[in-house]
Amino acid sequence: MLMRRLFTFLSCAALGIAAMGCSATMLSGALESVDQTGPELVDTVVNPNVVAHLAAPSTVAFGSTFDVLLIVKNYGRAKAFHLNATLTLAGGLTTPAQYISIGTLGVGEAKSIAIKLTAPGDMTLSETAMSAALTYKYFHAGSWNSYTSSAARISIALHPVDAALVTVSLSSPYDSVVAGTVTVYDQYGVSMMSQVTEANMAEFYLKPGYYSFAGTGVNFISTTLYGRKNLVYVGRDDMAVRVWICGHQHATQCEVRNNGLL
């Protein structure tokens, strides 16, 4: 099966404020973050103190769509009302909306918002950037007050598309595969990532090189199936890999189909 060539990044699922210092790589989906809002209100005994963090891939492909995570947390002693974020984009970045309404943020409460961005297609550029400034209201001494934070900023490098989309399909000559999981290993046998199949297929974005694919699943009578295809070369062209998975009684047939072994 040939699939249309695509390119994407694994999204960072980091939701904790303390875990925002990791460096970025394409396959792991790790993110780097920059926080420049900091605690700024002097009287934090009775006022809210909302801090913003931005997290994004350190590098993305020209023309690709990706997510940036905006995380806000109230470190103060009062609620922040009508909390909003205004985004400023540079270097050709675009987004459907540059104004984000977050709402009320309670004492100690944190919220995360995924922001979808599109990188520029202009390959003369080398870097993009974005910032997010917060505004909110709070009630103090019998009156409403407004506050605007300084901006949290982050920069993102650009690179050409250099990954291949590999579609892995699970099959069995003797048993129907009801559900499956595919695991990808590098050329040294180190597990890289796993994905639950949909319609017995999984898609991976891999740099050119040699990879092994292991499939597991069950049939309609809940018999466990397994199989492995070793050291398949993945190039820049679209390609499909079929991994035959069988129960124990047909393990030899699956091995022959996967790797040509007798």
Who has greater pLDDT, 117 or 194? 117
Residue type, 26: M
**What pLDDT is recorded for position 45?**
58
Half-sphere exposure of residue 137: CA atoms within 13 angstroms, side-chain side? 8
Tens digits of residue pLDDT in 143-179: 999 999 888 999 998 877 666 778 899 988 766 788 8
Listed in sequence order, the DSSP H helices in 14-122 are: none
Domain extent for 182: 164-259
Question: 21 with 108, same domain?
Answer: yes
Q: Is the overall model pTM greater than 0.75, yes or no?
A: no
d(CA 79, CA 211): 51
Give the CATH number, domain containing residue 178. Answer: 2.60.40.2100
Query: pLDDT of 59-83, one tens digit each?
Result: 777 888 888 999 999 999 999 999 9
CATH number at residue 63: 2.60.40.10
180 lies in a domain? Answer: yes
Contact (CB, 8 A) for 144 and 54 = no
- Classified as helix, coil or strand, 32 is strand
Q: Are residues 85 and 110 in the same domain?
A: yes
- Which pLDDT value is given to residue 28? 26
Q: Is 91 left (phi over 0), alpha (psi -120 to 50) or beta?
A: left
**For the ranges 12-21, 84-93, 172-181, 213-222, which has the lowest average pLDDT?**
12-21
Length of the chain: 262
**pLDDT confidence bin for 237, thresholds 50/70/90:** low
Structure confidence by residue, pLDDT tens digits, 96-120: 999 999 999 999 999 999 999 999 9
What pLDDT sits at residue 238?
64
Token look-up 């180190």 returns 190
| Domains contained in the chain, number | 2
In a domain, 3, yes or no: no
Q: What is the pLDDT of residue 135?
A: 96
pLDDT at 134 > cutoff 70: yes
Same domain, yes or no: 151 and 26: yes
The confidence band for 219, taking pLDDT boundaries of 50, 70 and 90, is: confident
* pLDDT above 90 for 88: yes
Residue 34 confidence (pLDDT) above 70: no
Q: Which of 32, 170, 151 is nearest to 86 (CA)?
A: 151
With contact defined as beta carbons under 8 Å apart, do 83 and 136 qualify? yes
25: confidence class by pLDDT, cuts 50, 70, 90? very low
The distance from CA 143 to its chain's CA centroid, rounded to whole angstroms, is 42
Residues 62, 114 within the same domain: yes
101 Cβ contact partners less than 8 Å away, ≥ 6 residues apart:
83, 84
Same domain, 155 and 168: no
* Domain termination site, one of 142, 159, 176: 159
- Check whether residue 47 and residue 72 sit in a common domain: yes
Query: Between 83 and 26, whose confidence is greater?
Result: 83
169 with 155, same domain? no
Say yes or no: 91 and 183 in one domain: no
